[in-house]
Structure 1
Amino acid sequence: MPPIPVVALVGRPNVGKSTLFNQLTRSRDALVADYPGLTRDRRYGRCQRGERDFLVVDTGGIMTNAESVDQAILRQVTQALEEADLVLFVVDAREGLTAADEEVADQLRRLGKPVLLTINKIDGEDPAIAAAEFSGLGFRDPILTSAAHNRGLAKLLARLEEQLPAPSVIPEALEAADESIRIVVVGRPNVGKSTLINRLLGEERVVVADLPGTTRDTVAVPFERDGRRYTLFDTAGIRRRSRVDEAVEKFSIIKAMQTIEQGHLVIFLIDAREGVTDQDARLLGYVLEAGKALVIGLNKWDGLDTDYKRRLRTQLDTKLQFLDFAEKMPLSALHGTGVGELFDRMPILFEQVRAELSTALLTRILQEATERHPPPLVKGRRIKLKFAHQGGKNPPVIVIHGNQTDNLPAEYKRYLNHIFRKRLKIKGTPIRLEFRSGDNPFAGRFNKLTERQIRKRHRMMRHVKKNKR
């Protein structure tokens, strides 16, 4: 399974990079985050507006003058460029070409990666003049956009799809791994991720093999346990037992996001002694958007006092209320406490994400839910939800048909989600509901009749009346 491509937005301040980022990602807060320290001035998101998905990185503006360059921001931009498959170089049509634009262009040319020049804020400007002014930067076929007014976005997306790297061929070893239960272990440095991975691989393994190269620094480890095949994915790479005590792990948001895409299930490890950080919550938001089954492992749980454990559970319920479906399991990777129970949940979650749900059962649950709590009135008319069927797996997708479904309140959608989860006994994986409003299949039917058909009907009606007499 090839890694999802990465597009980096680069340019000087106030050229509209963030606005363009929000347009591409549709401002989905679960995918937008400022990570203190590591990526304080960068934001990460996912674009799902074209035929191919890709990750978007919004960088801080590069500030230059005659004497100095902001080195802190430049280091962050450099990191984003190293991760990127394609660079969107954004400039401002209103302000025209500046020395800062030329300096950024020089850096991008030295980088040697594909660059797509995007001339933003084109409203009220002559496109031909703007394109001619920035032609001196040396990038061919620029895209003219107005991110604030959603102009030029369709053409931009088409060009991005053309220039993004083609999906790579999956190695044979990974094709075999694709038939197994794919488990992605995610967590910040020092939360005990490598200790947990080695504990999971430890006692009852039959076959273990390193398969590097799935997503850059990610390593896939296929193995068997109790007759079932698994593949563990670790963003920073599975390390040898002799090195498991190293204190610092390499960590990259982009690598973690790409690895999450490859799994059926995600084990998100949190250091119980530190609690839930903002970085945890934001990356968990991406897991939710990716639709993966999720277990939140509270590592280093042993040794904590009762009062602290109670406060931690309250923090989890408050800060991660958008993940009410996720299982939260206390454990100690070092001593093995709770790890066996965690592993036992993996096959169960795998079956849930791939469950076959009958239309009759889903429709019956829907009817019972609407009878107990009918949908609201909209302009004096009751919203009607008629039937439901399965629309996909991993995660389970339930498609609900009815009328005026676009007007269904978010609270009622959450109510239905809760009812389906409870009745189907699905825990640990999100359920996605899709609502579709159907048109009357007979509407306009007679308008499409030919003149000959209409005359024939009239003759038949006259004949029937004549016989009745």
Structure 2
Amino acid sequence: MSKPVIALVGRPNVGKSTLFNRLTRSRDAIVADYPGLTRDRQYGTGRVGSIPYIVVDTGGLSGEIEGVDPLMAGQVRVALEEADAILFLVDGRQGLIPADEVIANYIRLFDKPVQVLVNKAEGYDHALANSEFFQLGLGDPIAISSAHGDNVAYAVDKVLSELSEKEEQDEFDADEHPGIRVAVIGRPNVGKSTLINRMIGEERVVAFDMPGTTRDSIFVPFKRGEQEYTLIDTAGVRRRKNIKEKIEKFSIVKAIEAMEESHVVILLIDGSEGLTDQDLTLLGLAIESGRGLVLAVNKWDNLSSDQRQWVKNELSYRLQFADYAKQHLISALHGTGVGDLFKTIQAVHSAAFKRVSTSDLNRVLEQAVLEHQPPLIAGRRVKLRYAHLGGLNPPRVIIHGNQVDKLPQAYTKYLINVFRKAFKWVGTPVSVEFKASENPFEGRKNKQKTRSTTKKDESAFSAMKKTKKKKQPKRRQ
């Protein structure tokens, strides 16, 4: 089942941003700054609760009757349309106000499951805090504290469990999409559909010279040589006669879902416009998904030599954090460089699923430590004892040792680069995790120390008794 989408709705200062950060366990929320969307739209992957999900913060709504419709018709309307469930936050300390009722009436129009969360309820009687919000007619409220986490996991699990019962039939079947699954993502009008048409060699995906011509992701299976592929077009496809709107909204939710269902992600960048903040946002999402990554700079044929040099310099400077991803300079329209993408896709896919033995991992780890030892922490050297492979796609290396929780980020980056080079993990993120090893002799030492102390005490006690016995005077007859 694809990840459900939960939208956070409510007035300003009711704690939505705090709840968003708690649900995503992050402080730097991803901002989707796409055409038609405001900067307040934030997307993240939910990590609180038993089921993974996507959470969207819609920004604060004033709730004023005269000005609420234009505001809701924009970013909030799009978020509520693509959401599977809505978390409606209200202020438990301030109580029910008319603005909450206005927002509640608008939410009802979307016919989505709604859970009212009475925030800032820490230190309050929950039944009393919830009492007046029953008037909203949106079911039983749940008192929470987004700042302290009270009842947050319970509320999320309640919403997700209800969704999972309704969506069991929508499970993703990998067998229906064979081969290497490749998601093509990018901003509107960068040439995603044109690239897919060029890769499969036919007009399987409708392409228009207009941003956002389609909404939903589609799967395009095909075969090249002996290798099967399934291309995932995050723009989707629609018939020409159904295209009536001038510009449609770009759905970042569909891009996230497509990346999670893929093996390799191609991020398509418009070379004529250079690297934008929107491209960096999508790149951050692609890295967070853990999938293999390929960067393709499109419309390269239309650039002058000066423009090409400027774009190369910008990519080299601004994409240092994603230097593991191979870059391709292409023209989707004319086909220049498109064929080279397949070789890189296969290499990235092979790297993401490449298994290495524990002995090889430990050999590389030992050599890395010899060449560059871990730092001293409080006068003691951090010890990295052994490593093993914890997962694939992306490769995940688990390293056991002492004081590993105090290792600086720079040393972790060093180990990632060493493993990547040694095992040719090209184009895929590599995760290195640390676990503190228990000292098997620690308990034995404590027992020995206890025994030693006990023996010393017994010896001292015996000696004391003998001394006292000698000092006792003899009784007179």
* Fold-level similarity (TM above 0.5): yes
Alignment partner for residue 31 of structure 2, among 33, 36, 50?
33
Partner in structure 2 of residue 466 of structure 1: none
1:209, 1:222 within 8 Å by CA — same for their partners in 2? no
Partner in structure 2 of residue 415 of structure 1: 414
1:187, 1:268 within 8 Å by CA — same for their partners in 2? yes
Q: Which one is further off, 129-138 or 176-185?
A: 176-185
C-alpha distance after superposition, 1:279-309 (max 9, x if no partner): 1101110110100101110001113223322
Separation (CA, whole Å) in 1 of partners of 2:441 and 2:108: 60
Paired residues, what number?
439
2:112 aligned with 1:113, yes or no? yes
Partner in structure 1 of residue 389 of structure 2: 390
1:62, 1:70 within 8 Å by CA — same for their partners in 2? no
CA RMSD of aligned residues (A): 2.9
Partner in structure 1 of residue 464 of structure 2: none
2:375 aligned with 1:380, yes or no? no
Unmatched tracts of structure 2, length 5 or more:
207-214, 456-477
Structure 1 residues 171 and 68, CA, compared in 2 at 3 Å: closer, same or farther? closer
Partner-residue secondary structure (3-state), 1:149: coil
Separation (CA, whole Å) in 2 of partners of 1:78 and 1:334: 35
Structure 1 residues 445 and 262, CA, compared in 2 at 3 Å: closer, same or farther? same
Partner in structure 1 of residue 399 of structure 2: 400
Residue 434 of structure 1, CA deviation:
1.1
Separation (CA, whole Å) in 1 of partners of 2:248 and 2:417: 38
Unmatched tracts of structure 1, length 5 or more:
211-215, 459-469
Residue 177 of structure 1, CA deviation:
3.6
2:347, 2:426 within 8 Å by CA — same for their partners in 1? no
Separation (CA, whole Å) in 2 of partners of 1:185 and 1:320: 19
Structure 1 residues 35 and 338, CA, compared in 2 at 3 Å: closer, same or farther? same
Partner in structure 2 of residue 435 of structure 1: 434
Separation (CA, whole Å) in 2 of partners of 1:239 and 1:135: 43
Separation (CA, whole Å) in 2 of partners of 1:54 and 1:300: 35
Structure 1 residues 373 and 138, CA, compared in 2 at 3 Å: closer, same or farther? same
Alignment of 1:273-422 (within 5 A): 273-422=272-421
Separation (CA, whole Å) in 2 of partners of 1:342 and 1:39: 32
Give the partner amino acid of 2:58. Answer: T
Structure 1 residues 339 and 330, CA, compared in 2 at 3 Å: closer, same or farther? same
2:382, 2:402 within 8 Å by CA — same for their partners in 1? yes
Separation (CA, whole Å) in 2 of partners of 1:439 and 1:39: 51
Separation (CA, whole Å) in 2 of partners of 1:313 and 1:437: 43
Partner in structure 2 of residue 99 of structure 1: 98
Separation (CA, whole Å) in 2 of partners of 1:373 and 1:426: 21
2:4, 2:54 within 8 Å by CA — same for their partners in 1? yes
1:194, 1:239 within 8 Å by CA — same for their partners in 2? no
Separation (CA, whole Å) in 1 of partners of 2:94 and 2:171: 49
Partner in structure 2 of residue 465 of structure 1: none
Separation (CA, whole Å) in 1 of partners of 2:158 and 2:113: 12
Residue 55 of structure 1, CA deviation:
0.4
2:6, 2:54 within 8 Å by CA — same for their partners in 1? yes
Structure 1 residues 136 and 249, CA, compared in 2 at 3 Å: closer, same or farther? closer
Partner in structure 2 of residue 72 of structure 1: 71
Alignment of 1:45-60 (within 5 A): 45-60=44-59
Residue 398 of structure 1, CA deviation:
0.9
Give the partner amino acid of 1:155. Answer: Y
Q: Which one is further off, 133-142 or 417-426?
A: 133-142
1:236, 1:250 within 8 Å by CA — same for their partners in 2? no
Separation (CA, whole Å) in 2 of partners of 1:269 and 1:242: 27
Separation (CA, whole Å) in 2 of partners of 1:113 and 1:394: 34
2:238 aligned with 1:235, yes or no? no
Partner-residue secondary structure (3-state), 2:278: helix
Residue 277 of structure 1, CA deviation:
1.0
Structure 1 residues 445 and 135, CA, compared in 2 at 3 Å: closer, same or farther? farther
Question: In terms of Rg, which structure is larger?
Answer: 2
